[in-house]
Structures are given as structure tokens and as C-alpha cells.
Amino acid sequence: MNLSDSWNYEQFDAEAQRLYEAGDFDQALGLLKEALTRYPDSVELLVSLGYTRLAREEYAWARAAFDGVLGIDPEHEEALAGLGDVLLKLGERAAAFQIFEGLVALGYDRDVELMLCVGRSLLREGLLRRAERFFRLALAADRESPDAALDLAFTFYRDGDTEAALFWSHEAVRLDPRFAEARALYGNVLYERGDFRGALRQLATIPVTDLADPIVAWRVVDLKRRLEDLPADAEELRPYLLALEELAPEPSAEERVLAEVEARANGLTAGPGTGQLDLFGRPPDASAVEVHRVRAPNGVVYEGDWDGIVRAMRNGSEEPGVSLADFMRNEAMRLQALTGIAVSWQTARAFLEDSARVGALEIER
């Protein structure tokens, strides 16, 4: 007999939530389907089903699940919040706004977690002013909520208001000094405002095991090398470099080939890259190689195919011994840290075109 044969609906729901939080949406969905064959009228299971469907981007199914809950309990707050999120995804913004405001009218503005949930749904859709309203409602309900303070900081950061982002991320850190995500945003804002020593103090305080963003790991390495004059192979940097490897691993040969195929499908490559040449062990057809010209900010001009240009840039850098993938990744992260714009590094052409897009170089041909 399976262990689940004796479970009640609460045990099914608890296990489904565990799977959901672990990111195993397929297993969670299967378990909820099984549970609902036994407990078809369980509101808790239907709510969990709705959020699992939502996470799987199955919006019509998620809507049906939340509608099922509201058919039983028209004022169920989690189902209303979930349905509002679904409606945002489906482009039915007016209906979503009406539902969210209805939650406030029902008195749920004192429910911190629910207000944060609604605010995050709005933030994901780029509805910054509406998101701010719900985060402020959450903060009004609990002035000591570091999550509400951080969500406000993220909202202002997304809007380009670094002054407000700095204030609220600092407030989140004050409320919870161990809140790694809050300290990461606070340090990143300091970095982008040019307070590099302040940024290093904040970012280096985060335990390496709590790092979730490769940009943070890269910035600690970058700042320690610049401000403390550490060599690239300093033992003090090793934990951060290992974290960087884990958070932004070098693609496998198969992933590089797939990236080349996808890039070619999108018109981003002119010919075979070195990853493909290495994989198949054959030289390129010289007549098929397109020659490009790239000008760096210091006036240096590089000519050749995309891979050759990146190789020449690497050879002239401070770390000519690193692999091309590591060079592109490190440069991409440096540019993203400076500009806030993501720079691709999986292929040489994508790296150079994105670098040109953020103003780091000029592609003349």
C-alpha cells in the first residue's frame, strides 16, 4: 500500500506545497490530481491546483481551478489573488485590478502576505505604481516587515529611482540584518551609485552560501581586486569564483551547439563557431568566413571572424590565460554591472553585438 493511500486532504496539500516550493511542479500537479479524485470539493486542494497550474503557465486551467474555489467560497482571498494574477497574464487588466481592489474592500489590506502577493503579481507585469500601492499597504499593516520594505525597494529600482531604492533596501537590511536578498540589492545600488567601498562592505557581508545572483559574486571579486589590490588567484577570492561557476556555469559542448543553432535561426551568426569546429574536428572553409571589424573605446581595431576578434581581445586583456568562455562571461558581467543591461556571452557574435548595444565597443563591419 502506498503511503498516500491513508492521507487526508491536508497531508496531500502539504506534500504538494513542498513539491511546489522545490520547483517540482509536475510532481505537485500529479499529486493534486490524485488527491482531488478523493477530495473533489476540497477548497485547499483546488487553490493549490490553481497556483501549480499558474506556475506551469497553464492559465486557462489555473483560471478554472480558481473559479472552482470561488464557486464554493466567493470571498476566498487566495483564490481571488490567484485569479487576479491569471487575468493579468491573459491581458485582462481591468478585471484583475477590480479583483485586487475588491480584496482591499473585503478588509484583506491588513493581510501582509496577501498584499505582498498582489504587489508582486503587479510588479512582474511592470505595473510599478499599482505594485507600490500594495507594498505600501503591506508596510502599513506591519511596519517591521523587511519583505515589504525590500519589495518597495525593488519597485523603485525597476523605475530607475535609485534614491528611493537605496532608502528602502537599507530599511530592509535594518529590519533584518541577515536578509541576504535585501543586502544584495542595497550593495548593488551603492555600486551603481559609485560608492564602491560601501558596496563591498554590504556584498562581502553576505555568506557565500547565501549568494543567489552571479552579479553579486562577480562584484565582490571585482571590488576586492580593485580596492584591495588582490591578484586574480587570491585564496580569498576562491569561494566567490566557485560560487560564480555554480551560479553561471560555462555551457557544455552540447549547449554551445544549441546556442549556435538558436542564434543562426535568429540571424545572429554568419558561420560555424569554434565550439562547432572543436566538436566536429574539422577546419573552417576559409571562403565561408566573414571578416568583421570592431573598434574598442581606446581606438584599438580588431579584424577577423567573431571568435577571432574575441580571442584577440582576450589576448590583450589582463587575463590572457583564461578560456574564451570565461573571458566573455567575466566581461559580460562587468558590463551588466556597469549598465544594468544583460549581455550575452554564450557565443562570440552575441557577446560582441550586445557589447556594442551597451556602448562598450563599435562594430564597424
Q: For 154-168, write each residue's pLDDT tens digit.
A: 999 988 899 999 999
For the residues 329-337, what does the mean pLDDT come to?
81
My answer on whether 277 and 237 are in the same domain is no
In a domain, 156, yes or no: yes
Least confident residue range of 96-100, 152-156, 254-258, 351-355 = 254-258
My answer on whether 262 and 359 are in the same domain is yes
Q: Which of 223, 249, 275 is the endpoint of a domain?
A: 249
My answer on whether 351 and 309 are in the same domain is yes
User: Using the 8-state DSSP alphabet, how is residue 293 labeled?
Assistant: E
Distances (CA, A) of 218 to 41, 129, 236: 50, 32, 13
Distances (CA, A) of 236 to 225, 240, 248, 287: 10, 8, 20, 48
My answer on whether 266 and 334 are in the same domain is yes
Q: Would you state the cell numbers that stand for residue 59, as one nine-digit string?
A: 492559465
My answer on whether 301 and 331 are in the same domain is yes
In a domain, 138, yes or no: no
For the residues 148-155, what does the mean pLDDT come to?
96
Q: Would you state the cell numbers that stand for residue 347, as one nine-digit string?
A: 557565443
Q: Give the pLDDT confidence score for residue 257 in this predicted structure.
A: 53
Q: Give the pLDDT confidence score for residue 290 in this predicted structure.
A: 72
My answer on whether 313 and 359 are in the same domain is yes
My answer on whether 237 and 259 are in the same domain is no
My answer on whether 354 and 305 are in the same domain is yes
- Return the SS3 of 363: strand
In a domain, 84, yes or no: no
Q: Give the pLDDT confidence score for residue 161 in this predicted structure.
A: 92
The upper half-sphere exposure of residue 341, i.e. CA atoms within 13 Å in the direction of its Cβ, equals: 11
My answer on whether 206 and 159 are in the same domain is yes
For the residues 99-121, what does the mean pLDDT come to?
97
Domain extent for 233: 143-249
Contact 153, 169 (CB under 8 A): yes
CA–centroid distance for 272 within its chain: 30
Q: Looking at 94-138, which runs of residues are DSSP E strands?
A: none
In a domain, 72, yes or no: no
Residue 316 one-letter amino acid: G
Is the pLDDT assigned to residue 283 strictly greater than 70?
Answer: no
**How would residue 92 be classed by pLDDT, with cut points 50, 70 and 90?**
very high
Give the CATH number, domain containing residue 209.
1.25.40.10
Is the pLDDT assigned to residue 20 strictly greater than 60?
Answer: yes
CA distance 205 to 56: 35
In a domain, 230, yes or no: yes
Q: Give the pLDDT confidence score for residue 272 in this predicted structure.
A: 38
> Any idea which residue has 563599435 for its cell?
362
Contact 319, 311 (CB under 8 A): no
pTM for the complete prediction? 0.71
In a domain, 151, yes or no: yes
pLDDT tens per residue across span 25-76: 999 999 999 999 999 989 999 999 999 999 999 999 999 999 999 999 999 9
Task: Mark 199-226 as b/e (b = at least 16 C-beta within 10 Å).
Answer: bbebbbebeeeebebbbbbbbbbbbbee
Domains in the chain: how many in total? 2
For the residues 336-351, what does the mean pLDDT come to?
80
Higher pLDDT, 148 or 350: 148
My answer on whether 182 and 262 are in the same domain is no
Q: Give the pLDDT confidence score for residue 281 in this predicted structure.
A: 35
Is the pLDDT assigned to residue 275 strictly greater than 90?
Answer: no
For the residues 96-112, what does the mean pLDDT come to?
97
Is the pLDDT assigned to residue 318 strictly greater than 80?
Answer: no
Is the pLDDT assigned to residue 266 strictly greater than 80?
Answer: no
Is the pLDDT assigned to residue 274 strictly greater than 50?
Answer: no
For the residues 81-103, what does the mean pLDDT come to?
97
Contact 16, 35 (CB under 8 A): yes
Q: Which of 205, 221, 249 is the endpoint of a domain?
A: 249
Q: Give the pLDDT confidence score for residue 48 in this predicted structure.
A: 96
Least confident residue range of 237-251, 273-287, 312-326 = 273-287
In a domain, 65, yes or no: no
My answer on whether 188 and 270 are in the same domain is no
In a domain, 158, yes or no: yes
For the residues 289-308, what does the mean pLDDT come to?
82
My answer on whether 207 and 227 are in the same domain is yes
Q: Which of 232, 249, 266 is the endpoint of a domain?
A: 249
Give a three-class secondary structure readout of 50-99.
Answer: HHHHHHCCCHHHHHHHHHHHHHHCCCCHHHHHHHHHHHHHCCCHHHHHHH
Is the pLDDT assigned to residue 119 strictly greater than 80?
Answer: yes
For the residues 84-105, what does the mean pLDDT come to?
97
Q: Would you state the cell numbers that stand for residue 362, as one nine-digit string?
A: 563599435
